[in-house]
Structure 1
Amino acid sequence: MPKDKSNSLVRQAKLNAFTSYINFIVNAVLSFIFYPFLLRFMGSYDFGIWKSIQKILDFASIADGRASQALKWVIANKKESSTDDEKKEAIGSAIKIWIYFLPILIILVGVIIWILPSTIKGLHTDANSIVRIAGLVLGMNIILNPLLGIPDAVLVGINQAHKSTSAQTLWVIISNILLVAAAFMGYGVIGLACVIFIVTLLKGLNVFYICKKNAVWFGSKKPKKDQVNQLFGFSFWVMIWSLISKLLLSTETILIGYLIGPNLVTNYTFTSYIFQVGLSVALITGSATAPGLGNVLGTKDFEKARRIVNGTREMVFFVAIVFAGAMLVLNKGFVVLWMGPSYYMGDYLNMLITVVMVQLILIRNESQLQDISMQIRNKVIMGGISAALSIVCGIVVYKLLNNAVAGIFYGILIGRVFTSIIFPIMVNRIIGLKESYWKYLAGIVILVLCYLLDLRLPTPGSWFKFIMFSAVFGIVLTAACFYTLLSKQNRSVLLGKLRNK
């Protein structure tokens, strides 16, 4: 590859990564700023209903065929080697798959909308129609999303993802402002759903314009039958895993809403905020190594692959324990100062949420590591079993413990044990890796110490005291994790990157 072309690819990759992190930071900051306003204007009950509707309806999106996700990789592979007509045919294939799935998607969305009220415990009878109307508006959003996502997939495929991400970041800001305005004016859950739908349409048109400007060939053409079959085969297992992934990410919210009610969904949203941020950081950290690992496996350099996998696992575990320690020690003060003491679920439940989140981060990382093998069938089957078990166990243990909230988290932990064990084994078999487990023991010791420290700490009375203590504790915790959880090689790599930045 010519040097100038290689440098261009590196620049594009840096821009893509930079805009992704900016988008993530903006999302996190806006949630921190605007969630309290939404809660104030809507009330705990309606806010919990809103979050429950979003989580439940999100499952319907898996029935769209996932063609736009597959399209981005197809376009990337065809970027240099195919004609404009072949790329247009790939887009035509994605549209055709969306049309194939459209009846299924509409039926699934309709069924979910109809049963929505029964999935939220304690819902007032007069709120049934409100929930269904909001579900209908968000359902239309889900039906159109695959089509509106095609320009974004093309931009990712031609290595111009930063332009789409920048536009989406702007629309995230606009969306949050409009959501708060709708809540302030008393439009409630239905008003919020309408805002999401309108913003989705405007954002789709914006990204379409950007795509057309950067890919002059952009358009669709009737595809050949084998092209449609090829894209469908690639997207099928991605679609199934998408359902399982959504289950893994939403199990707690769904079970709390179904078994207890919307008010506790609201409390869980605020109590778990720190770790939701940590989950995103860990996923971004893990996915950063995927392209390089894929190339290494393609050349069958398993020795280098083992080093990359070990390094990725260490870095993700490092991130997980840092955020877990912060959640155990700082979360009570953070939530109390941010929202008030009534929205903190207590030290014991906070500890259980932390353990569940660490388990989820490790499972998601192992899932990403398996994706680069392109053989995800077994992962999908095993993950599906575990996702179903976590739901069943969550309900059963909740009932066995006399409807104690802790039972939900115990059940989820038990249901995911199988995946926590089998996923790393599956990755190790791909590259012939024998892993050391000492770092996990060190991580457990750090978390136990953090939990014991939390039990002895008073709640800070002001943001100033909280920020000062958080800064000192954060430095100590990060240093402890840095020297106990990372190998000498990974410490050198991380320090080198920090010096470069």
Structure 2
Amino acid sequence: MSNPVRENLRLRAALNSATGLIDYSAKMGVGFFLNPLMVTLLGPIFYGAWQVISQLNSYMATADIRAATSLKFILSKNRSVNSDNELKEEVSAALYSNLVFTPVYIILGLFVVWFAPILSGVEPQYFNTVRVASALLVFSFIITQFFFLFESTLHGMNLSYKRIGIRAFITIIGGVSSALVLYADYGIEGLAVVQICIATLIGFSFWWIVKKTIPWFEFVRVTRLKVISFIKLSSWYMLMKLSDLLSQSVDMILLGYLAGPKYVSVYAITKYLMVAASGLVRTISGSSSVGIAKFIGEKSYKKLLEARYQLVLIQWILIIISGSLVCIFNKSFISIWTDKDFFSGQIETYLIVIIALFTMLYQVDSSIINSTLRIKNKILVTLSSAIISIVLYFLLVPDYKTIGLLISILAGMFFLSISLSFLVMKETQSDYKIFNIFFSRTSIFGVTIISIANWCSKYVDVNNWIEFIIYVIFTSLILLVITWYLALSKRQRNILQKTIKLIKNK
């Protein structure tokens, strides 16, 4: 057995979250400046096509054996109970599994490249341009799969904070390079080349950090049976990835196919602000969930549920504030940022926020289930959620366009949120009460605050960035006070205050 290192889980969660927030802020900052440029220089058709092929490229992950994902959850669960040699074998099995599946990546990539222009809805004269860009993105994906092993190792060992600032720096370099490519009129093909460069730089940086940070890390020989066993486990994560993609990442593809690329452009711009905000929340919960996954390996379910409860409370605070801000200021933001014609509407904005609410709330439960390494039931409920949404897409999108799309997504997310919460309670042998999810003080006040904010949006019209920033800061402070005292009970406030003090003291 390795000598276990005592972890301050709260401190590491805070450090990992800070690292994730820096990286995500860099990504969103680059997107903030780059998206208007892309809309202007590419035009709505190619901008919409780029959004579709980017999302379509994520479906390459269905060919990915999910070796890196399996590795992350294996390490997060077993890092305190397995020996160094056992951990080396897991890392090595992940590498060999990826090598075995490289031909599959290439074959599926050919299908993605061929169908990309058809699904993006562009005219036949643009087919070759879209296919070239898609092929370059496929190559970027294959590079990422191998380098992702190093990132997953850091993540699984709860050491993500060791890379603080590096990904953010590379992301900024990539953003500047993308802007230069657009100004030089290299179009979406040039953007795809930049993605290859970014993937390579990030990959080598993670390799360097892992070699420097984790003493036991190296690739060793493993038996064929070990690799086969790893592939079998990873196959479940491959199915999980497919189910997640069908549930969460098919919206732009089907909107482009059923309504056209211009609707995709407007939809992408309208949801940008909420995507940015919800990404911050997911970054925090994701960084913390890896740390508490060790309780699963140790079978300390009481500690796991206590940590889960705290994470969900933090999520609610962030969701209420960010969702309300998006409802109030999204129209003004888009008008200043790009053009008011790219705002889908206030009803669409409200639905986007509610979808984000359900999506963010189940992230902690999703990570916990992944870390148990028993994900069959999760796959089934996620696929069921996807089927619900996809059937509704074809029924509603042709007539109701974006609103039909959002109603379809919401139906699937509602089902998935309930189901994953039930699975966590079943895994930890705890009581499951649907009442506590939808009729608690926090949920009722939270949805009410967001709904009032959406109603208030019709009285808000901000015309410049200075006013926008001032209003957002002022409104955020008001929302924080309202949420703290109305949406949270005294007991909940005490729990969060105690957690903050423990982080400071350690």
- TM-score, normalised to structure 1, is 0.89
Q: Per-residue displacement from partner, 1:376-410 (whole Å, max 9, x unpaired)?
A: 210111101111221221221223xx244311112
- Once the two structures are TM-superposed, the CA of residue 157 in structure 1 deviates from its matched residue by 4.8
Q: 1:417 aligns with which of 409, 414, 430?
A: 414
Q: Per-residue displacement from partner, 1:61-98 (whole Å, max 9, x unpaired)?
A: 232211122234555646895456x5554343222211
Residue 431 (structure 2) aligns with: 433
Residue 181 (structure 2) aligns with: 182
Residue 408 (structure 1) aligns with: 405
Residue 338 (structure 2) aligns with: 339
Where relative contact order (Cα < 8 A, 6+ residues apart) is larger, the structure is 2
Cα distance in 1 for residues equivalent to 2:156 and 2:472? 41
Cα distance in 1 for residues equivalent to 2:448 and 2:13? 38
Distance 1:269 1:452, change over 3 A: same
- Once the two structures are TM-superposed, the CA of residue 103 in structure 1 deviates from its matched residue by 2.4
- Once the two structures are TM-superposed, the CA of residue 227 in structure 1 deviates from its matched residue by 2.0
Residue 484 (structure 1) aligns with: 486
Cα distance in 2 for residues equivalent to 1:189 and 1:425? 43
The answer (yes or no) to whether the contact 2:79–2:157 under 8 Å persists in 1 is no
Residue 460 (structure 1) aligns with: 462
Distance 1:49 1:279, change over 3 A: same
Q: How does 1:37-48 map to 2 (within 5 A)?
A: 37-48=37-48
The answer (yes or no) to whether the contact 1:148–1:204 under 8 Å persists in 2 is yes
Q: Per-residue displacement from partner, 1:160-207 (whole Å, max 9, x unpaired)?
A: 433445332221111111111111100001111111112322332333
Distance 1:389 1:33, change over 3 A: same
Residue 53 (structure 2) aligns with: 53
Name the Cα RMSD after superposition: 3.0
Distance 1:489 1:372, change over 3 A: farther
SS in 2 for 1:211: helix
Q: Out of 42-51 and 170-179, give the one that drifted further.
A: 42-51
Distance 1:93 1:498, change over 3 A: closer
Residue 18 (structure 1) aligns with: 18
Residue 450 (structure 1) aligns with: 453
Q: Out of 31-40 and 192-201, give the one that drifted further.
A: 31-40
Residue 148 (structure 1) aligns with: 147
Cα distance in 2 for residues equivalent to 1:106 and 1:241? 21
Cα distance in 1 for residues equivalent to 2:120 and 2:208? 40
Residue 367 (structure 2) aligns with: 368
Residue 34 (structure 2) aligns with: 34
| 1:407 counterpart letter in structure 2 | G
| 1:447 counterpart letter in structure 2 | I
The answer (yes or no) to whether the contact 1:351–1:451 under 8 Å persists in 2 is yes
Cα distance in 2 for residues equivalent to 1:195 and 1:302? 45
Cα distance in 1 for residues equivalent to 2:401 and 2:156? 48
Q: Per-residue displacement from partner, 1:297-332 (whole Å, max 9, x unpaired)?
A: 555555554443333333323322222211111111
The answer (yes or no) to whether the contact 1:241–1:380 under 8 Å persists in 2 is yes
| 2:431 counterpart letter in structure 1 | L
SS in 2 for 1:461: coil
SS in 2 for 1:6: coil
Residue 350 (structure 2) aligns with: 351
Q: How does 1:191-206 map to 2 (within 5 A)?
A: 191-206=190-205
Q: Per-residue displacement from partner, 1:277-311 (whole Å, max 9, x unpaired)?
A: 22222223333543564444555555554443333
Q: How does 1:234-383 map to 2 (within 5 A)?
A: 234-291=233-290, 293-297=292-296, 302-383=301-382
- Once the two structures are TM-superposed, the CA of residue 42 in structure 1 deviates from its matched residue by 1.9
- Once the two structures are TM-superposed, the CA of residue 230 in structure 1 deviates from its matched residue by 3.3
The answer (yes or no) to whether the contact 1:89–1:223 under 8 Å persists in 2 is yes
Q: How does 1:154-233 map to 2 (within 5 A)?
A: 154-157=153-156, 160-164=159-163, 166-215=165-214, 218-233=217-232
- Once the two structures are TM-superposed, the CA of residue 152 in structure 1 deviates from its matched residue by 2.8
User: Which structure 1 segments of 5+ residues have no match?
Assistant: none
Cα distance in 2 for residues equivalent to 1:218 and 1:48? 42
Q: Per-residue displacement from partner, 1:114-171 (whole Å, max 9, x unpaired)?
A: 11111122x1211101111111111111123222223333444555433445332221
The answer (yes or no) to whether the contact 2:73–2:370 under 8 Å persists in 1 is no
Cα distance in 2 for residues equivalent to 1:310 and 1:83? 32
- Once the two structures are TM-superposed, the CA of residue 214 in structure 1 deviates from its matched residue by 4.0
Residue 112 (structure 2) aligns with: 112
Distance 1:472 1:93, change over 3 A: same
- Once the two structures are TM-superposed, the CA of residue 252 in structure 1 deviates from its matched residue by 2.5
- Once the two structures are TM-superposed, the CA of residue 484 in structure 1 deviates from its matched residue by 2.6
Q: Percent identity?
A: 23
SS in 1 for 2:114: helix
Residue 131 (structure 2) aligns with: 132
